[in-house]
Structure 1
Amino acid sequence: MALVACPRSNITLLPHGPASASGSRAPGSAAAPPGRRRIRRGRAMASCEGGRSAAAAASHAPPSLLVFSGGTAFNGVVEELKKVTTRVAHVLPVSDDGGSTAEIVRVLGGPAVGDIRSRCLRLSDQSTSEALSVRKLLGHRLPIDPSEAKLEWHQIVEGDHSLWDGVSRPYRETIRAFLVYFHNEILRRSTELFCFTNGSIGNFFFAGARIFFQSLDAAIFLFSRVSQIPAESLVLPVISTNDRLTLGCELWDGTIIRGQNEISHPANGRREIVNKDCNSCTALPSRIKRVFYMSSEGSNLLHEVFPEANHTVLEQLSKVDCIVYAMGSLFTSVCPSLVLRGIGEITASRSIPKVLLLNGSHDRETAGLSASGFVTAIADSLNRTYGDPHKSLKNRPNEYVNAILVPEGGQVPLDVENLAAQGIFHVVTVASIHDPKVGIMFDPPSLIQALTSLISERMDMRPSEPSYITENAKIVS
């Protein structure tokens, strides 16, 4: 077996496999010239049936991860990730203002709970028929037609709906009590007409618990117990608050946009199911420069506010084995968690895998961005580059991202030379699937296999060893 060299860039291509995974040279390969990092190319395609990384197996404990994500895109791999480890801190924003979440926030106030509810349901137990019944109930959405939605909601809250079948009396009484409390809170606000269209029963339960306890953390705790989430799996709001949070963004042309929904998929006042495809709505007049938080009534940069990061998030960030920036809405799902003080400081200080899961397609927020553009957006958010200069950091991109997993055939250009200039030398191409609604996506088993292999490799490497770039390779026999 021979290695194929790339004459244009004088890069030695090494196959992705056990021999090269630990950083050792393949038989017959030449040493890299002094001062030049070797770049190996391979492909992480696997039919992962679970399993643990070598380092984790040695310590008899699965790896621990902290994942920055929104409530949709990463959900597709949560089931596969649970087969490998449940020691995962899922960090989610609480600034969503679309869908049924928007209606709850409009009438009852408070932080957005939709992303948190969505992740909790994905992590919920499915081992018994009752667990599946509870998951079905809390995952149910009401009809689109307003009158039909209201009628079905009354059937559910009164306990007459077939969704209650299979739910034992203790669970039924617990869940229904908070649905009734939520309903009573709506009735108390007689001046606001609540619209149940496409409403999530889980969101209603969650909102009822949050208002009852006057605590977002308490509501998450209750929801986690009701849905029987593993104790070591944490669903964490990046900001622990009982108040409404508003996300804003500044474009490079100076335009200020208020509200997450208006940034990512404006509906122009229409009530409809969210479609984040970049072709489903008008393009932004300019690329996004940064996202930030605004006061409830603010409309410009003078109304920027600086909420504190959840202390538990900072605590988890300081001790996990790997940090993951998940695929999804880059600026409205991932970056809102990164711009808070303390997140960048701790992330830069950790000598662990920090992995970007690159999107397979563009959306309104990222149209025109290359892979290095995604990295820049993450680094600028963690550095708080364009905010208050007295609160900004100066860390290099590779202090925040040191590996990238890329879905095969994805639309986002993989500009390897620019990534190398950013100090990123480890890019793995992962098998993908095509979803007719979303486009190119990671194949979940292959993604988790690649991620756990990367964690194992990085944990086994000596601190002095360089990182690598890994992509597709041509192996000649």
Structure 2
Amino acid sequence: MAPLTIQRSASVPDELRVARCLSAPHRGPRLVFFSGGSALNGISRRLKRYTHNSAHLITPFDSGGSSEVLRNAFAMPAVGDLRSRLMALAEETDLGQPDIVRLFSHRFPVDAAPAVLESEVEQVLAGEHPLVRAVPQPMRMLVVSHLQSFAQHAPVDFDYAGGSVGNLVIAGGYLANERLLEPVLFMMSKMMDVLGTVRSVVDVNLHIGAEYADGRVVIGQKEITGKELPPPEERIQRLFLSDGMTEVPRAEIILPKRNRRLIQKADLICYPPGSLFSSVGANLLPARVGQEIAATQVPKVYVPSLGCDPESYGMSLCEQVGALLDILWSDAGPEVPATALMTHVICDSSVPTSECDAVIERFGIPCVPLPVADETGKRYDATSFCEMLVSLV
């Protein structure tokens, strides 16, 4: 497939495409993101102005924070990133967030006295907390049923400190629905009027592992990110899926048909900002991801993170592109052209020209510097980011 070019169409200028999206977001483009973590949440909140048809395939492999507590207690996928993306895409009113979103956003206190924490937990799980009671029926009845399901299954020593009520609702729904995430994510999407689609890339209880250049192998997302633990000052050579002890063959973990259809119907595919391996690369590990992307004739855009990403230690922009392509090639096949898996790399104009030239020379992928960073230079400006993407469709 010939690489696409970033330029204004003579008949449909960028400004017109943006204006069309702003005037009718319900008819906006179908953008598919392979995402995780919080890096895209701010952009997702702004994206609702341009399209209600974005789809977010989220990694369920996190092993830190409150997700770790749930995973250890129930042997389930990580749900924290799913919850936060659902809330980022939830419809908002002139009065702010709806009551249901405020409830799902609420976290139990970390530093409260044990008796205070226990009292609030009991109120929430019994459906008597003011945030629960503020939710109108029949949504409140559904929420309470999932909270009570959670309460029935939770171990007596479960640590609620810092836990998210939304995570408890998802976990309760997961346990009440034959240990499946899709039914409870669908329910939460409807309750919050989510303006898009949020799914786990696969519904399995697995972890990611990394093999480093010095031969070390670690298993667990928090071992890789350099956020909760000191970052390994070595380059990741290979990423893989694990049951927590040993590697799981890629062929055993297949991208579900419902998620394949999202890729097949996409108007644009984005590898967005986020931790290179644990947020973006992890979503590309299941079988059929690379094949489906290669077969879809749409723009496929990589937008690298700004600032410091401990996971891309010592890696140039060209090497970061190569790391993602290697994961995709291991599924799609090495004979697939790089431009069938990634048609553009778009970076901020602060990136040196030599970095962009290296991407073009090695992979033949256009690398386009654009002024898309905010005033800090460490994050993307949400409006510029969204308008850049919809202009490519």
SS at the partner of 1:94?
coil
Equivalent positions of 1:281-296 (< 5 A) are 282-296=230-244
- Residue 226 of structure 1 aligns with an amino acid whose one-letter code is M
Q: Percent identity?
A: 28
Structure (1 or 2) with the larger CA radius of gyration: 1
SS at the partner of 2:186?
helix
1:175 maps onto 2:143 in alignment: yes
Equivalent positions of 1:341-380 (< 5 A) are 341-380=287-326
1:221 maps onto 2:186 in alignment: yes
- Residue 202 of structure 1 aligns with an amino acid whose one-letter code is G
Report the alpha carbon displacement of residue 53 of structure 1 after superposing the two structures with TM. Answer: 6.5
SS at the partner of 2:144?
helix
SS at the partner of 2:379?
strand
Does the C-alpha gap of structure 1 residues 21 and 426 become closer, same or farther in structure 2, counting only changes over 3 Å?
farther
Report the alpha carbon displacement of residue 428 of structure 1 after superposing the two structures with TM. Answer: 3.5
1:260 maps onto 2:198 in alignment: no
Partner of 1:401: 342
1:314 maps onto 2:260 in alignment: yes
Report the alpha carbon displacement of residue 210 of structure 1 after superposing the two structures with TM. Answer: 0.7
Equivalent residue in structure 1 for 2:8, among 2, 15, 21: 21
Q: Where does structure 2 lack aligned partners over 5 or more consecutive residues?
A: none
Does the C-alpha gap of structure 1 residues 378 and 227 become closer, same or farther in structure 2, counting only changes over 3 Å?
same
1:420 maps onto 2:360 in alignment: yes
Equivalent residue in structure 2 for 1:430, among 366, 371, 384: 371
Question: For this pair of structures, how many residues does the alignment match?
Answer: 381
Q: Distance in 2 between matches of 1:117 and 1:52?
A: 30
Is this contact kept in 2: 1:91–1:238, CA < 8 A? Answer: yes
Q: Which stretches of structure 1, 4 residues or longer, exceed 3 Å deviation after superposition?
A: 128-131, 148-151, 303-306, 391-394, 407-410
- Residue 66 of structure 1 aligns with an amino acid whose one-letter code is V
Partner of 1:51: 19
Equivalent positions of 1:382-397 (< 5 A) are 382-384=328-330, 392-397=333-338
Residues 402-440 of structure 1: CA deviation (Å, up to 9, x unaligned): 212223546x986122111111124141332256xxx61
Report the alpha carbon displacement of residue 211 of structure 1 after superposing the two structures with TM. Answer: 0.6
Report the alpha carbon displacement of residue 131 of structure 1 after superposing the two structures with TM. Answer: 6.0
Higher helix share: 2
Report the alpha carbon displacement of residue 158 of structure 1 after superposing the two structures with TM. Answer: 2.9
Q: Distance in 1 between matches of 2:378 and 2:71?
A: 33
Does the C-alpha gap of structure 1 residues 61 and 177 become closer, same or farther in structure 2, counting only changes over 3 Å?
closer
Equivalent positions of 1:206-245 (< 5 A) are 206-214=170-178, 215-230=180-195, 233-241=196-204, 244-245=205-206
Equivalent residue in structure 2 for 1:331, among 260, 274, 277: 277
Residues 162-209 of structure 1: CA deviation (Å, up to 9, x unaligned): 3235322422222122112111211xx34xx21112101100000000
SS at the partner of 2:110?
coil
TM-score when scaled to structure 2?
Answer: 0.88
Q: Distance in 2 between matches of 1:149 and 1:90?
A: 34
Partner of 2:211: 250
Report the alpha carbon displacement of residue 104 of structure 1 after superposing the two structures with TM. Answer: 0.6
Q: Distance in 2 between matches of 1:430 and 1:447?
A: 9
Residues 3-42 of structure 1: CA deviation (Å, up to 9, x unaligned): xxxxxxxxxxxxx99xx52489xxxxxxxxxxxxxxxxxx
SS at the partner of 1:293?
strand
Residues 102-140 of structure 1: CA deviation (Å, up to 9, x unaligned): 101101111111111111111112237696111011011
SS at the partner of 2:374?
strand
Partner of 1:13: none
More displaced 10-residue stretch of structure 1: 304-313 or 107-116: 304-313
Is this contact kept in 1: 2:17–2:390, CA < 8 A? Answer: no
- Residue 125 of structure 2 aligns with an amino acid whose one-letter code is V
Report the alpha carbon displacement of residue 61 of structure 1 after superposing the two structures with TM. Answer: 4.1
Residues 418-476 of structure 1: CA deviation (Å, up to 9, x unaligned): 111111124141332256xxx61111011111111222xxxxxxxxxxxxxxxxxxxxx
Is this contact kept in 2: 1:370–1:413, CA < 8 A? Answer: no
Is this contact kept in 2: 1:250–1:288, CA < 8 A? Answer: yes
Partner of 1:90: 56
Partner of 1:142: 108
Report the alpha carbon displacement of residue 353 of structure 1 after superposing the two structures with TM. Answer: 0.7
Does the C-alpha gap of structure 1 residues 61 and 226 become closer, same or farther in structure 2, counting only changes over 3 Å?
closer
1:454 maps onto 2:392 in alignment: yes
Is this contact kept in 2: 1:430–1:450, CA < 8 A? Answer: no
- How large is the Cα RMSD of the aligned pairs? 3.0
Q: Distance in 2 between matches of 1:333 and 1:287?
A: 16
Q: Distance in 1 between matches of 2:353 and 2:208?
A: 28
Is this contact kept in 2: 1:295–1:304, CA < 8 A? Answer: no
SS at the partner of 2:241?
strand
Equivalent residue in structure 1 for 2:380, among 427, 431, 442: 442
Is this contact kept in 2: 1:143–1:149, CA < 8 A? Answer: yes
Q: Distance in 1 between matches of 2:58 and 2:89?
A: 14
Report the alpha carbon displacement of residue 378 of structure 1 after superposing the two structures with TM. Answer: 1.0
Q: Distance in 2 between matches of 1:202 and 1:50?
A: 33
Partner of 2:76: 110
Is this contact kept in 1: 2:285–2:327, CA < 8 A? Answer: yes
Report the alpha carbon displacement of residue 344 of structure 1 after superposing the two structures with TM. Answer: 0.9
Q: Distance in 1 between matches of 2:353 and 2:120?
A: 46
